[in-house]
Amino acid sequence: MNLLLLKPDQIFDHQAVVTGRQLEHLARVQRLQTGDSVRLGALNGLMGQGRISSLDGEQACLDIHLDTAPPAPLPLTLVLALPRPKMLRRTLQTVAAMGVKQIYLVNSSRVEKSFWQTPLLTPEALEEQLILGLEQARDTAMPEVHLRKLFKPFVEDELSDIVAGSEALVAHPIADRGCPVDCKSPVTLAIGPEGGFIPYEIDKLNQVGFESVHLGQRILRVENAVPALVSRLFPS
């Protein structure tokens, strides 16, 4: 945790109260004590510093001062075929840490139906994973996650508006063009499931303006392909 991220119900005027996981991190991992300072931020707000005014086994109270804007978001919209739950957890943390703010989790022929039943897709569970990514990256702006269980209606009815004004790319191992580097304009990036999008799905994406790109000869797992593609498109 590189940033103590505070929700609105934790902040009272210029003070904050920390319990649970965050308290354990302050007390047992960072081994902070009363009087110590910590970097913190308000969810979807400013960042700054906090000074611990009291700390016990139940909670920590901090005097806070917020005066710094969070990092700029990446001009990237991610359309991701829903991965298996363990991979989804890591991927959400990664994309949140990298600055992606618009995430569409979509169905695909090769997405197992059971994946849509995972408790990780509840709003509370999604928020928990995204917060972990934000805390790692020192960011406060919460990404938006949209669930789309029907591929064809999503592509035909919504995707054209989503990609408007951006370069639309779909990662596909059988592509003539390599993934571009250091893009200067917004990008909408589609990444398929393990095994990739089937030809029908690639054709549907092509019809709304997506161009297939590859990362080379190696076939990567989704959890590795996502950061590899994002960091190539927008090097830090």
What DSSP assignment string belongs to 171-186? E-SS-SEEPPSS-SS-
Q: Residue 213: in which H helix or E strand, if any?
A: strand 211-214
- The confidence score (pLDDT) of residue 140 equals 98
Domain 4-68: assigned CATH number: 2.40.240.20
- The confidence score (pLDDT) of residue 1 equals 84
Band (138; pLDDT cuts 50, 70, 90): very high
CA distance 100 to 73: 6
What pTM was computed for the model?
0.93
Q: Residue 107: in which H helix or E strand, if any?
A: none
- The confidence score (pLDDT) of residue 215 equals 83
DSSP state, 29?
I
- The confidence score (pLDDT) of residue 78 equals 98
Stretch 186-190: mean pLDDT: 97
Band (219; pLDDT cuts 50, 70, 90): confident
Residue 168 pLDDT > 90: yes
Residue 236 pLDDT > 80: no
User: Which amino acid belongs to residue 225?
Assistant: A
Residue 163 pLDDT > 80: yes
Q: Does domain 76-233 match CATH 3.40.50.880?
A: no
CA distance 59 to 64: 15
Report whether 6 contacts 12 (CB < 8 A). no
Report whether 99 contacts 71 (CB < 8 A). yes
Domain boundaries, the chain: 4-68, 76-233
